Amino acid sequence: MFEKEIMIGRTRFSSTVLMAPLAGYTCFPFRLMARRLGAGSAYTEMVSTDALKYNDKATSKLLYTDDRETLKCVQLLGSVPASFEKAARSDLLAKFDVIDINMGCPVPNVIKSGEGCALMEDIPRASKIIEACKRSGKTVSVKCRLGMNPQKIVIEEFARMCEASGADMITVHGRTRNMMYDGEPLYEYIRLAKASVKIPVFANGGIDSVEKAAEMMEKTKADGVMLARYGFENPLIFSLLTGKAVVDTKRSLILEQLDIAGECFDELSALTYIKKLASYFMKKLPGTKRLKLEMYKCGSLKELREILSEIFGSGE
């Protein structure tokens, strides 16, 4: 169902199951893994257009990439059209093929700044942001929700605006802002968004199995799906959904991730990332409490490798 390629603007995505941008998680090593396992695209963690002005170390780490990442997709967060245009045209983003605009983040600090999902209440500003990014010549996608709350569901109007403003794709998280990350997605509204436009519409929210992905497609008629936290918990889901033959286990994946993180990050950053990833991999894995505590205490990649080899020694 998801193995076919799809053109998004002028950019070819290798499948119709995508990995969502996740703050604190979708760093370079993870994106490489997701793509190798079958994800059609994988986005950076969200990058503030304001932070790009200063080119600090933290932002540089978020944007780290090299030639191993054959499709480079960045997600931008902000509220000022001119800042988006400057970022999109900057040397820092020159290597990136696709810009995704975050119009769906529901967290309070983002909303207070007029960013993320707050832009769904300012459709003229949202339109100007999309137009500003399109002037860079890059492929532009938008990730949004249904609206701020059940009384303010605006997804049909918003989807039409995205298309008219030049967006090449929309990803709709099937919840309102007040639902945060809980509750069954409101499938019918994603379906309405899909019916409202001609550009590809991807569906997001609550997908934690092959069955849930199929249900999402059936109920929304979307062009594909975007996975979020379950993609981090079990990246092998990408190969299951696309039918891509792989021989990986969680053990081989985590050790490969450790090697890549060790190459491109300082040791502290690599340790922090691998411990987070391993914690997700260990969900529902029995008898690992002691080893998990040891993992959190360890202070070197060499020691962490030994602990991970013991945790995942069975090849799970």
Residues 6+ apart with CB under 8 A from 46: 21, 23, 75, 76, 77, 102, 105
Average pLDDT of the chain to the nearest whole number: 94
Domains recognised in the chain with CATH numbers: 6-242 (3.20.20.70), 250-311 (no CATH)
In angstroms, the CA 134 to CA 85 distance is: 8
List the one residue out of 225, 227, 200, 80 whose CA is nearest residue 140.
Answer: 200
Answer whether residue 315 shows pLDDT above 60.
no
pLDDT at 316: 54
- Express each pLDDT in 98-109 by its tens digit: 999 999 999 999
In SS3 terms, the chain reads as: CCCCCEEECCEEECCCEEECCCCCCCCHHHHHHHHHHCCCCEEEEEEEHHHHCCCCHHHHHHCCCCCCCCCCEEEEECCCHHHHHHHHCCHHHCCCCEEEEEECCCCHHHHHCCCHHHHHHCHHHHHHHHHHHHCCCCEEEEEECCECCHHHECHHHHHHHHHHHCCCEEEEECCCHHHCCCCCCCHHHHHHHHHHCCCCEEEECCCCCHHHHHHHHHHHCCCEEEECHHHHHCCCHHHHHHCCCCCCCHHHHHHHHHHHHHHHCCHHHHHHHHHHHHHHHCCCCCCCHHHHHHHHHCCCHHHHHHHHHHHCCCCC
pLDDT at 197: 98
- Express each pLDDT in 231-280 by its tens digit: 999 999 999 999 998 888 999 999 999 999 999 999 999 999 999 999 99
pLDDT at 314: 58
pLDDT at 57: 78
pLDDT band per the 50, 70, 90 thresholds, residue 123: very high
Please tell me which residue, 245 or 120, carries the higher pLDDT value: 120
Instruction: Report CA 255 to chain centroid distance, whole Å.
Output: 22
- Known catalytic membership, residue 27: no
Answer whether residue 114 shows pLDDT above 90.
yes
Answer whether residue 193 shows pLDDT above 80.
yes
Q: Is 245 exposed, middle or buried (0-12, 13-18, 19+ CB in 10 A)?
A: exposed
- Express each pLDDT in 11-44 by its tens digit: 999 999 999 999 889 999 999 999 999 999 999 9
Q: What percent of the chain has pLDDT over 70?
A: 99
Answer for the pair 84, 49: CB distance below 8 angstroms, yes or no: yes
pLDDT at 204: 98
Q: Say which of 105, 133, 144, 162 is annotated catalytic.
A: 105
pLDDT at 53: 82
- The whole model's pTM is what? 0.94
- Express each pLDDT in 229-241 by its tens digit: 999 999 999 999 9
Answer whether residue 81 shows pLDDT above 90.
yes
- Express each pLDDT in 159-181 by its tens digit: 999 999 999 999 999 999 999 99
**What does residue 151 show for φ and ψ, rounded to 5 degrees?**
-85, -10
Answer whether residue 56 shows pLDDT above 80.
no
In angstroms, the CA 127 to CA 107 distance is: 22
Answer for the pair 299, 308: CB distance below 8 angstroms, yes or no: no
pLDDT band per the 50, 70, 90 thresholds, residue 289: confident
